[in-house]
Structures are given as C-alpha cells and as structure tokens.
C-alpha cells in the first residue's frame, strides 16, 4: 500500500474554496529531561477519540473536550468515536491509537517510572486552530500541571 498524498488530494477536493491557510507555529523551547526515563512520571494523551464506555462519546465537529481514562481501565471498556479515520482497528484494539496497555507494561518493566493517572484522550479532527489553542490546549495543560508529570507522550492520530 502506498502513502496517500494528503495535501494534494485535499487541495483537489476543495479546489473551489479559497486556499487553505496552514498553521505555522513558532519554535517550541527545548526542555531536556532532568532525570532518567525510568524515574519519570509519564502522561499519555491520544488524539484518537478514545473514551471509556461510561463517558460521553466525542462529537464529530470541533469537539475540544478531553476524556480522562483511569490508567487501570480495561481495554474492553474503551470505545472509539472519531470521524477522521477508519476506526475498525482501533475498536478491535484501542492500543493502536491509545497505547495504555503498552504504557502499563513499560511501567511494570521499569522502563518508565510511572504512568500518570489518568491518561487523556481528545478528538484529533478539530479544524479550528483557534479552538485548539484557546480551548483544548489549556484543558490539557491544566489537567497535567499539578500531576508531577516529567514527560508527556502525545499519540497523534
């Protein structure tokens, strides 16, 4: 299977629309780790639209909310609600977009110090960069800020 030429394909699909304004972000400051990974508390965030069966599914349009998933949640109790990709594989094994079991294994094996509780998920298909910057990012930062997190793993979908 060959890669999909996403940008040219998108331009063709929306040829009648004004040109898309791609986001250009400034440089992010480099923040080196201050301790070995095997002593770090690691936060997990996936943009795969995963949620616990007891939680509200994500809305398909510009949903900037987050879901907090307990780190000991059973994968059988996880669901996927995302419009931007085929979700069959993620529904069969949520670890392919939200690797919570793999992270727990790394914690058990001592590769990471600890998986932060809870883990976080969001809807990756948010077209409004303003809403991502003003709504989603502050929620994530506020949620993780007081948790003693040393390392943040983003699994983009």
Quote the CA–CA distance of 77 and 102 in Å, as a whole number: 16
pTM of the model: 0.85
Q: What is the pLDDT of residues 44-75, one digit of tens each?
A: 999 999 999 999 999 988 899 999 999 999 99
Residue 76, token pair as written in the block: 């059988």
User: Strand, coil or helix: what is 142?
Assistant: helix
CB atoms within 10 A of CB 47: 21
Residues 152 and 46 sit within 8 Å (Cβ to Cβ): no
Quote the CA–CA distance of 48 and 89 in Å, as a whole number: 12
Q: What is the pLDDT of residues 4-16, one digit of tens each?
A: 787 788 888 888 9
Residues 35 and 151 sit within 8 Å (Cβ to Cβ): no
pLDDT category at 1 given cuts 50, 70, 90 is: low
Residue 129, token pair as written in the block: 């960069």
Residue 74, token pair as written in the block: 């059973």
């Amino acid at each position: 299977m060959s890669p999909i030429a996403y940008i040219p394909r998108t331009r063709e699909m929306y040829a009648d629309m004004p040109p898309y304004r791609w986001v250009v972000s400034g440089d992010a400051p480099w923040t080196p780790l201050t301790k070995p990974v095997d002593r770090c508390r690691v936060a997990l965030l996936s943009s795969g639209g995963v949620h616990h069966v007891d939680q509200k599914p994500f809305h398909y349009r510009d949903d900037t909310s987050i879901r907090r998933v307990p780190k000991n949640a059973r994968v059988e109790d996880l669901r996927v609600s995302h419009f931007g990709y085929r979700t069959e594989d993620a529904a069969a094994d949520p670890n392919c977009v939200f690797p919570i079991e793999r992270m727990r294994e790394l914690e058990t094996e001592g590769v990471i110090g600890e998986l932060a509780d809870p883990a976080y998920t969001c809807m990756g298909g948010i077209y409004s960069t303003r809403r991502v910057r003003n709504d989603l990012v502050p929620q994530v930062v506020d949620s993780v800020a007081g948790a003693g997190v040393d390392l943040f793993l983003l699994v983009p979908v």
